[in-house]
Structure 1
Amino acid sequence: MAMIERSDTGAVARLTLNAPERLNALSDAMMAGLLAELETLASQPHIRAVILAGAGKAFCAGHDLKEMTAGRSAEDGGRAYFGDLFARCGDLMMAIRALPQPVIAEVHGIATAAGCQLVASCDMAVAADGTRFGVNGVNIGLFCSTPMVALSRNIPRKQAFEMLTTGAFIDAARAADLGLINRAVPAGDLQQEAMELAQTVAAKLGGAVRIGKRAFYEQVEMPLEQAYLHTGEVMTQNMMFEDTAEGIAAFLGKRSPDWSQ
């Protein structure tokens, strides 16, 4: 059974975490499979948006604790394995950010620990009402230090710290209020809502969205003056696209653009 199932609808690729019996835990195989799919998508410009979902009753329950426990049997008590595991997990999260296409998390059931990190690492997220989010490793004595990197870049610091230190869960409505997800929707509408958002993005000029996504994450880490200088150069590059010239001409001519991409 493939750990990641992919299905395409036009310019939208849907990736489904496919280990429902383990609540789609981020096992070594799951992370490797997802990273491989992302690497493939990075070289497929005809795909303009990506949906990331989970099979079964949950989105993702975080790292595979049984697999992690087995890692302790090594001579060093698992230190090398754990170091490699968390490094690979970080690489996966950064690959989502580096992917040219926007990634939309379609979340249901639970998104806990590294599963919550996965949601926070996506560019956008839509969740079903009743979904529970948590960075609850502290409840078993393991502070969610790597998940807090993405979480603390999505929601206010004090709320992130409270979640990390109490292990408390929040629901989809609260996650939307805090900015962890874009919106909460009825469970029956989840797939449709995620697809409509993805198709809206996919209908835009692919080259413009790709250059814009990269610039979005670059500028947010810069001081204000540097950010304006950088994004001014990005917009200049964007203006030089032939398809951008066509888009402006189409707007002025009150017609649909005839883009080559």
Structure 2
Amino acid sequence: MSISGQSLLLADRVDGVVTLTLNRPDQYNALSEELLGELQRNLDAIAGDNELRCVVLAAAGRAFCAGHDLKQMRSRPDQAYYEELFARCGRVMQSLVALPVPVIAKVQGTATAAGCQLVASCDLAVAADTAKFAVSGINVGLFCSTPAVALSRNVPIKKAFEMLVTGRFISSSEAVDNGLINKAVAPEQLDVTVAALVQTICSKSPVAVRTGKAMYRRQHGMSLGDAYDYAGKIMAQNMMADDAGEGIDAFMQKRPPVWKGC
């Protein structure tokens, strides 16, 4: 099912799984105003879909995403314009986080600056072992302040700051070690690895997955005591769901569960 007819972003849906593919391969999928707009419209369109199970963020061509479109940015040297542009980009990143289901970055190539921010904003990330990552704005005199927000929520603080102040590219294996991505695989294994991850997620209770993502994201910013108080209430609510009763009964009866869903 096609959600968007615009060629900048290809959007398809199969059995509750939506794949959004950045489609500016000749521009290394740089985030132009237009592409940011397409991403926001599509994320808004699927956010309230109760049948949604998982989202995959992919890209066409050699690069995953080269960050903001620098040529477009330089054509409008105005601070108010830049503030609005970065605010729009921030809304896209927050919309990825706020989606009620897991979002998987499928990284086939280099992800730099706001492209690295995209990867860090997804719940999970699988990359080709040939992909590289950087927040390289410092190399052109621009500290990657907005990418730093997402990066520092994935990567240990000293590692993140090193990337930000050196602009150094890191390999997929280093990105795994630093917590930026979950797994690096051979390029020819990327599709099947992501498909297997999607299948595993979709095999679980939709109620539990949605409850879990919302809880996990929210508790992260709480104190330890507040997090336990909040998590206990959420877990008790989850226990009252039909799927929890079905799952526990199925486990005790040694049979596969039949999920009722949302």
| Aligned position for 1:49 | 54
Measure the CA separation in 1 of the matches of 2:8 and 2:170.
28
Amino acid at match of 2:42: E
Instruction: Give 1:11 deviation, angstroms.
Output: 2.8
Instruction: Give 1:70 deviation, angstroms.
Output: 1.1
User: Aligned ranges for residues 81-230 of structure 1 at < 5 Å?
Assistant: 81-230=81-230
Amino acid at match of 2:66: A
| Aligned position for 1:238 | 238
Instruction: Give 1:37 deviation, angstroms.
Output: 1.2
User: Aligned ranges for residues 243-258 of structure 1 at < 5 Å?
Assistant: 243-258=243-258
Deviations 1:197-222 (A, max 9, x none): 11211111111111110110111100
User: Aligned ranges for residues 49-88 of structure 1 at < 5 Å?
Assistant: 49-72=54-77, 78-88=78-88
Residues 102, 123 of structure 1: 8 Å contact kept? yes
1:17 aligns with 2:29: no
Residues 12, 199 of structure 1: 8 Å contact kept? no
Measure the CA separation in 1 of the matches of 2:215 and 2:101.
13
Q: Which has the higher contact order (CA 8 A, sep 6+)?
A: 1
Instruction: Give 1:45 deviation, angstroms.
Output: 2.1
SS in 2 for 1:50: strand
SS in 2 for 1:188: helix
Amino acid at match of 1:147: P
Deviations 1:181-235 (A, max 9, x none): 0000000111111111112111111111111101101111000000000000110
| Aligned position for 2:7 | 2
SS in 2 for 1:16: strand
| Aligned position for 1:75 | none
Query: Which of 33, 39, 44 is residue 39 of structure 1 equivalent to?
Result: 44
Residues 172, 184 of structure 1: 8 Å contact kept? yes
The answer for unaligned runs of 5 or more in structure 2 is: 1-5
Instruction: Give 1:10 deviation, angstroms.
Output: 2.1
Amino acid at match of 2:132: R
Residues 51, 195 of structure 1: 8 Å contact kept? no
Instruction: Give 1:13 deviation, angstroms.
Output: 1.4
Measure the CA separation in 1 of the matches of 2:256 and 2:165.
52
| Aligned position for 2:3 | none
Measure the CA separation in 1 of the matches of 2:23 and 2:83.
25
Amino acid at match of 2:9: I
Residues 133, 169 of structure 1: 8 Å contact kept? yes
TM-score by structure 1 length? 0.96
Measure the CA separation in 1 of the matches of 2:237 and 2:7.
40
